[in-house]
């Protein structure tokens, strides 16, 4: 009571949970922040001005951009985590949220954590190395549970088993030097297995959303390419497991369907079709006018990729007789075609590149030298590119698949000879 007939007004901002208990947190190790929700319980908008703790050395925040307006009934979430290198034991502080409605106000809730020194292999930062050389099934070296030796559950995995009095995680570091196939299987109890890439897909550590593969009691025949990974297993009671590793078989060659291997007169817009050989896990598509081709249009992947344009990539005129010419009709080079004797003299032309980018932009790349004709001030020899045909154009391209045409837009952009524009020389 503030006085006769007066009651203290309720704050128009609610924090959930009302006590921010981070639980057991490993010292000097990443653990997913605890999510905290702010809700505007007023009938009008409020503005979140600032969020802080009174113990910032050990309690960190993951905040949205502030100030932030919340309409009536709206919510926003942020994260609270333990940071720094505190002494083992209980930590406490206060979370303070400053906001403005009709007046300025604050809401304060307590923050707690139990800091503990993680032992191997409790967290990623002190994970245990696990040999991944080809081997018959062997026991996974599970050390113990929290009940026996003080291991804790620090991560929420996909299809998480939940929590319990003796829940725990173990983390193993996998560094296969060659491509292998791995399997993990529970022998006693129930175990949730999850494998993560070393970069955790841009996150700070293992989460429910960034695992490469996950399985309850079994991960079978999962392909690991040479590199670094982390295996995290989670259990509610002391459990046992085994694992096996086999060498990844070499893939069989792909079989070309269309166009057939060795086919000639391939035209733009044709679909490329092939079937993968046995044991193929990833593929790469490389195109070019010479062998081996060098223009990577689809980098190594296991997913289906549809390129935005059949032109996308870098193109060059083939350095061979008859690769370009002039005539009265399309495909007719009866007036002139490049002879074998010009291939050396025009070598600075044949290494010019015509680049069609995925965003629709186009570039001429000439490495500071190209073939110049008399109208450019040259004498049919190699020299410094002359503006505007020197690669400086801010150009785009348009590809009409039905008409089989390419249109370049931009002064100085060209293909083949720069003097040909709109069917006029």
Q: Are strands 20-26 and 104-116 parallel, antiparallel or unpaired?
A: parallel
Give me the residues paired with residue 216 across strands: 192
Full strand arrangement of the beta sheet holding 168-174: 128-129, 168-174, 229-235, 191-197, 213-216
Last residue of a domain, one of 116, 134, 169: 116
Query: Is 271 contained in some domain?
Result: no
Query: Is 252 contained in some domain?
Result: no
416 and 325 in a single domain? The answer is: yes
Residue-wise DSSP of 313-381: EEE---SSTTSSEE-SSTT---SEE--TTHHHHTHHHHT-EEEE-TTSEEEEE-TT-EEE-GGGT--SE
112 and 155 in a single domain? The answer is: no
pTM of the model: 0.64
- Domains in the chain: how many in total? 3
- CB count in 10 Å sphere of residue 307: 14
- Asked if residue 244 lies in contact with residue 135, where contact means CB atoms within 8 angstroms, the answer is yes
Q: For residue 213, is the peptide bond before it cis, meaning its omega torsion is within 30 degrees of 0? A: no
- Asked if residue 132 lies in contact with residue 174, where contact means CB atoms within 8 angstroms, the answer is yes
**Rounded to 10 degrees, what is the CA torsion of 287, 292, 295, 298?**
60
168 and 185 in a single domain? The answer is: yes
Task: For residue 59, give the 3-state DSSP assignment.
Answer: strand
User: For 113-122, 261-270, 416-425, which range has the lowest pLDDT when averaged over its residues?
Assistant: 416-425
pLDDT confidence bin for 342, thresholds 50/70/90: confident
**Residue for token pair 């841009």:** 202
How far is Cα 364 from Cα 344, in angstroms, rounded to an integer?
21
Query: Is 394 contained in some domain?
Result: yes
106 and 18 in a single domain? The answer is: yes
288 and 422 in a single domain? The answer is: yes
Last residue of a domain, one of 247, 268, 299: 247
Last residue of a domain, one of 116, 135, 151: 116
69 and 95 in a single domain? The answer is: yes
68 and 182 in a single domain? The answer is: no
What's 147's DSSP letter?
A: H
Q: Does residue 244 register a pLDDT over 80?
A: yes
Express each pLDDT in 292-322 by its tens digit: 887 787 888 877 776 667 788 888 898 899 8
306: tokens are 């549809």
Query: Is 345 contained in some domain?
Result: yes
Range of the structural domain that residue 321 is part of: 282-425
Query: Is 368 contained in some domain?
Result: yes
Q: How far is CA 97 from CA 15, 27, 48, 141, 382, in A?
A: 9, 26, 7, 46, 70
How far is Cα 346 from Cα 236, in angstroms, rounded to an integer?
73
Nearest Cα to Cα of residue 118 among 51, 50, 170, 189: 170
Query: Is 141 contained in some domain?
Result: yes
Nearest Cα to Cα of residue 371 among 362, 380, 361: 380
Q: How many residues does the chain have?
A: 425
pLDDT at 82: 97
111 and 143 in a single domain? The answer is: no
Q: What is the largest CA-CA distance in the chain?
A: 108
Query: Is 399 contained in some domain?
Result: yes
Q: Does residue 4 register a pLDDT over 60?
A: no
Q: Does residue 272 register a pLDDT over 60?
A: yes
210: tokens are 């960034």
79 and 200 in a single domain? The answer is: no
pLDDT confidence bin for 1, thresholds 50/70/90: very low
* Average pLDDT value over all residues in the chain: 87
101 and 151 in a single domain? The answer is: no
- Asked if residue 13 lies in contact with residue 46, where contact means CB atoms within 8 angstroms, the answer is yes
Express each pLDDT in 59-114 by its tens digit: 999 999 999 999 999 999 999 999 999 999 999 999 999 999 878 899 999 999 99
How far is Cα 240 from Cα 165, in angstroms, rounded to an integer?
18
287 and 388 in a single domain? The answer is: yes
How far is Cα 392 from Cα 238, in angstroms, rounded to an integer?
67
Which residues contact residue 102 at a Cβ distance below 8 angstroms, ignoring those fewer than 6 apart? none
Q: Does residue 7 register a pLDDT over 50?
A: no
CATH number of the domain within which 181 lies: 2.60.120
How far is Cα 82 from Cα 111, in angstroms, rounded to an integer?
10
Query: Is 307 contained in some domain?
Result: yes
Q: How many helices (H) and strands (E) does the chain have?
A: 3, 31
Measured CA angle at 381 (ends 376, 383), to 5 deg: 65
Q: How far is CA 354 from the centre of its chain?
A: 29
pLDDT confidence bin for 291, thresholds 50/70/90: confident
pLDDT at 8: 35
216 and 286 in a single domain? The answer is: no
Rg of the chain over all Cα atoms, to the nearest angstrom: 33
């Amino acid at each position: 009571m503030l006085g006769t007939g007066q009651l203290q007004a309720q704050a128009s901002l609610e924090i959930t949970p009302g006590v921010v208990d981070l639980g057991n947190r490993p010292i000097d190790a990443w653990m997913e922040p605890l999510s905290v929700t702010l809700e505007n319980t007023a009938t009008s908008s409020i503005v979140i001005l600032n969020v802080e703790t009174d113990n910032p050395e050990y309690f960190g925040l993951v905040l949205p951009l502030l100030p932030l307006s919340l309409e009536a009934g709206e919510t926003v979430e942020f994260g609270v985590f333990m940071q720094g290198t505190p002494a083992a034991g209980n930590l406490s502080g206060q979370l303070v949220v400053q906001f403005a409605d009709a007046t300025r106000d604050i809401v304060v809730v307590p923050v707690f954590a139990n800091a503990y020194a993680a032992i191997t292999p409790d967290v990623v930062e002190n994970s245990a190395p696990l040999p991944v050389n080809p081997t018959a099934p062997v026991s996974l070296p599970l050390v113990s549970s929290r009940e026996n030796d003080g291991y804790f559950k620090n991560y929420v995995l996909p299809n998480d088993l939940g929590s319990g009095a003796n829940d725990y995680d173990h983390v193993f570091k996998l560094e296969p030097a060659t491509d292998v196939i791995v399997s993990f299987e529970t022998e006693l109890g129930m175990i949730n297995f999850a494998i993560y890439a070393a970069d955790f897909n841009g996150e700070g550590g293992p989460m429910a959303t960034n695992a490469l593969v996950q399985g309850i009691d079994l991960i079978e025949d999962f392909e690991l390419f040479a590199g670094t990974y982390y295996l995290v297993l989670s259990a509610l009671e002391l459990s046992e497991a085994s694992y096996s590793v086999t060498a990844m078989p070499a893939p069989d060659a792909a079989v070309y369907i269309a166009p057939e291997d060795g086919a000639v007169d391939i035209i733009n817009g044709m679909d490329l079709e092939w079937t993968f050989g046995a044991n193929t896990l990833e593929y790469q598509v490389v195109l070019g006018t010479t062998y081996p081709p060098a223009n990577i249009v689809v980098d190594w992947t296991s997913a289906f990729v549809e390129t935005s344009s059949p032109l996308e990539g870098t193109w060059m005129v083939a350095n061979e007789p008859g690769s370009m010419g002039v005539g009265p009709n399309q495909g007719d080079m009866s007036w002139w075609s490049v002879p074998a004797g010009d291939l050396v003299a025009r070598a600075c032309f044949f290494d010019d590149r015509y680049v069609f980018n995925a965003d629709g932009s186009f570039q001429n790349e000439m490495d500071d030298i190209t073939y110049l004709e008399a109208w450019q001030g040259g004498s049919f020899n190699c020299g410094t590119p002359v503006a505007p045909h020197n690669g400086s154009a801010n150009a785009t391209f348009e590809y009409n698949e039905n008409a089989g045409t390419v249109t370049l837009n931009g002064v100085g952009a060209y293909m083949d000879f720069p003097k040909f524009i709109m069917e006029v020389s």
